[in-house]
């Protein structure tokens, strides 16, 4: 009897292994489909506000009064970064 139980046990183990592999493959396929759908849908959206529109009433006031402050300036490596110093310095009343 011991000889007959071993092939059945091995067959059940192989079946469980195949089901586990199939489950992992299905999970990977679902995850890949979800990532692809998220990237696909997110890239089609246009921006909510135009880039040249003033963001606040204060920015609109500053641009009318003394000219618009630059939004970005290059850093020492040439990459654009926010121009905080130019935007936060007090404006002169000339």
How much is the pLDDT for 79? 93
Q: What values do phi and psi take at 13, rounded to 5? A: -65, -45
**Single pTM value for the model:** 0.32
User: 70, 86 in Cβ contact below 8 A?
Assistant: yes
| pLDDT 10s digits, 2-46 | 455 666 666 667 777 777 777 888 888 899 888 887 777 666 667
């Amino acid at each position: 009897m011991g000889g007959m139980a071993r092939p059945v046990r091995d067959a059940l183990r192989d079946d469980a292994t195949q089901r586990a592999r199939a489950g992992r493959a299905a999970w990977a396929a679902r995850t890949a489909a979800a990532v692809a759908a998220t990237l696909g849908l997110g890239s089609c959206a246009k921006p909510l506000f135009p880039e040249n529109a003033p963001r606040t009433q204060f920015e609109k006031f500053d641009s009318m009064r003394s000219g618009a402050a630059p939004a970005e300036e290059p850093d020492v490596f040439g990459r654009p970064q926010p121009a905080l110093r130019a935007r936060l310095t007090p404006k002169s009343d000339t």
